[in-house]
Structure 1
Amino acid sequence: MDDTHQEVTSLVGREVYSNNGVFVGEVEDLKLNISEQTIEGLALGNLNAELFQEEVNAGQGVIVPYRWVRSVGDVILINDVVERVRDPDEEESDEIVA
């Protein structure tokens, strides 16, 4: 049995929280790089309306870079997404894609 394949599909449906314990959303799909066989991002739905009001109102999701993921267990923990979303003027190359 291919453990990597099983792990990738098991990410769908998991809740995502920031390191600060703030609910961000739920994994609906994955952004994959087929040629490199890597996960590039998590496509989130069921978003926290306080963080993503515009996207929630438009019925859209967001994709967070997989490099933000800090741990995967019963839930997925990602880096300080709250600060990055609330401070869009910060000079940072990481962006959330709607």
Structure 2
Amino acid sequence: MDRDSVPQEITTLVGREVYTNTGVFVGEVEDIRLDLDRQSVTGLALHELNRELFSAKANQARGVIVPYRWVQAVGDVVVVNDIVERLQASNEPADEEEEDEVTA
């Protein structure tokens, strides 16, 4: 789906399940991270996480924020790319200032 094709309320994302492009459940959208100066979505705050994907630090947190640029498609569910590979490759907890990483 082309994100620019039809304007939609960003609140419609809340409650949608998030899956990787290979079909692995990641979590559920709880909130949206916005850049008000640029009037754009920068991240999706997820809860109800797939605990097998995230580090112990993220498992103790309420949820994680996934960078919105990872979103490939939005429909009945949200599809994100390469999150599993990024999480499995990283042995260190994510740094909140790193935009390329999932943050807790």
TM-score (norm 1): 0.85
- Percent identity, aligned pairs only, is 57
- Map 1:1-98; keep pairs closer than 5 Å: 4=7, 6-54=8-56, 55-56=58-59, 58-88=60-90, 94-98=100-104
Q: Distance in 1 between matches of 2:61 and 2:42?
A: 22
- Specify the code of the residue in structure 2 equivalent to 1:43: A
Q: CA deviation at 1:49?
A: 0.9
Q: Distance in 2 between matches of 1:27 and 1:73?
A: 13
Q: Distance in 1 between matches of 2:79 and 2:36?
A: 24
Q: CA RMSD in A?
A: 1.9
Q: Distance in 1 between matches of 2:67 and 2:86?
A: 12
Q: CA deviation at 1:80?
A: 1.0
Q: CA deviation at 1:59?
A: 3.9
Structure 1 runs (4+) deviating above 4 angstroms are none
Deviations 1:4-47 (A, max 9, x none): 4x430100000000011000000000110011110000000000
Partner-residue secondary structure (3-state), 1:67: helix
Q: Distance in 2 between matches of 1:94 and 1:40?
A: 12
Partner-residue secondary structure (3-state), 1:50: coil
Question: Alpha carbons of 1:59 and 1:95: their partners in 2 closer, same or farther (altered >3 Å)?
Answer: closer
Gaps of 5+ in 1: none
TM-score (norm 2): 0.81
Q: Distance in 1 between matches of 2:9 and 2:20?
A: 21
Gaps of 5+ in 2: 1-5, 92-98
Query: Which protein has the bigger helix share?
Result: 1
Deviations 1:42-62 (A, max 9, x none): 000000011125222x14211
